Structure 1
Amino acid sequence: MPLPADGKAPLPLDAAQAAQAAGTEGVPAAAPASWYTRLCRAIARGCMWLGIAGIVALICAVTWQVFGRYVLNSTPTWAESLALLLVLYVTMLGTAVGVRDAGHIGLESFLVLAPEALRLKMEYLIQALILIFGAAMAWNCAYLVHSVWTYRLPTLGISEGWKYVPAAVCGALMVLFSIEHLIALAQGREVEPAWQ
């Protein structure tokens, strides 16, 4: 910061002088998040909160089942079916968020060592394959939902199609999040995790 002639308090810098002093002159500022990125982040956060609520409900259902079996000597038959259904929802929502936040186990040692041009092409290929897989998963699970919708889960009294809804939703979310990753790759940036 430049000092005035009398050597007292430093004068304030304008933005250009501050950038020059910090050595960031000519470096473009980070672009604000696009509406699509903000939408995907909001969806991912919503999925995380729904997953947390699902885990709490799952713990309550299993606790009630154990209490009914060993204390009341009357096992509630719906508790086990509800717990299994909740496991599907929590798992599929977590899978979708894991795709967006790159939270899944991956073998990256060869990709990190690859030249930049090859690494970028491989990342495009990986995201395209995830998109295709998500689309196939959404389509086929939606077909399953439709094909078994008239059948009922006897212990819960709801359609059996509800077992396949989370996988269909997960596939659709994987498509949305893969598109976000492809856009980020094209713009030369990374997708920030939903919890940040």
Structure 2
Amino acid sequence: MRKFVEKLSAVLDHVADLSIRIAGIGLFLMTVFIAWQVFGRFVLNDTPTWTETSSILIMGWFLLLGAAAGIREGNHLSFDVVLFLVNDKAKSVAFTISDFVVIAFGMGMVVYGLQLALKTWPTTIPNLGISGGVAFLALITGGALLVIYSVERLLRRAVGLPTTRFSDKLAEAD
């Protein structure tokens, strides 16, 4: 089982790296689109209508991909004050509970995001001419990654692999 988890983590390292790269490209594109919008509005006196809608769609992708990768790497916002007061076993239990909560949240993102995508698929985003359901694909993907990364942390903890990079910094700081 340990070898399987190590191989899974190696694959997910690449997935997380790709997610961060896509998020970075998305952030760059959004910046370029908004700059073009400002330039078009104030210099050309001809505002491009597609830039705002495109930027909002791209923002959903880079936020959700970046957040999922941040949770995997343990760089996401957390409230750790109580963990300084408890022993390693209690910390491990707290991290495990946290992982299950994140799994439930991620599953909710997938299920409800899928429902929203299916209900809005027949509509069209006016400025872009694409399906309205596309707006929820980032939510579904981000939720799926949250579930996968949290399951990975649970598996790593179960087989005794270090989880420092996977948000258990306090558990191994002692």
Q: Which amino acid aligns with 2:67?
A: T
Structure 2 equivalent of residue 116 of structure 1: 88
Q: Which amino acid aligns with 1:183?
A: L
Residues 1:158 and 2:130 are matched in the alignment: yes
What is the deviation of 1:32? Answer: 10
What is the deviation of 1:159? Answer: 0.7
The number of aligned residues is 163
Cα displacement string for residues 150-187 of structure 1 (whole angstroms, at most 9, x for unaligned residues): 10000110111111110110000000000111012113
Pick the aligned partner of 2:13 from 41, 56, 60. 41
Distance in 1 between residues matched to 2:134 and 2:98, nearest whole Å: 30
Task: In structure 1, list runs of 5 or more residues that go unmatched.
Answer: 1-30
Pick the aligned partner of 1:62 from 19, 34, 37. 34
Distance in 2 between residues matched to 1:180 and 1:32, nearest whole Å: 11
Pick the aligned partner of 1:170 from 113, 118, 142. 142
Q: What do you get for the CA RMSD once the two structures are aligned?
A: 1.6
User: 1 or 2 for the larger relative contact order (CA 8 Å, sep ≥6)?
Assistant: 2
Q: Which amino acid aligns with 1:150?
A: P
Task: In structure 2, list runs of 5 or more residues that go unmatched.
Answer: 167-174
Summarize the alignment of residues 136-155 of structure 1 with structure 2, pairs less than 5 Å apart: 136-155=108-127
Cα displacement string for residues 12-51 of structure 1 (whole angstroms, at most 9, x for unaligned residues): xxxxxxxxxxxxxxxxxxx897111011111100000001
> 1:46/1:191 Cα in 2 relative to 1: closer, same or farther (>3 Å)?
farther
TM-score normalised to structure 2 length: 0.88
Structure 2 equivalent of residue 89 of structure 1: 61
Q: Which amino acid aligns with 1:160?
A: G
Runs of 4+ in 1 over 4 A off after TM superposition: none
What is the deviation of 1:113? Answer: 1.7
TM-score normalised to structure 1 length: 0.79
Distance in 1 between residues matched to 2:25 and 2:94, nearest whole Å: 36
Distance in 2 between residues matched to 1:70 and 1:93, nearest whole Å: 33
Range 181-190 or range 75-84, more displaced:
181-190
Instruction: Please state which structure has a larger fraction of its residues in helix.
Output: 2
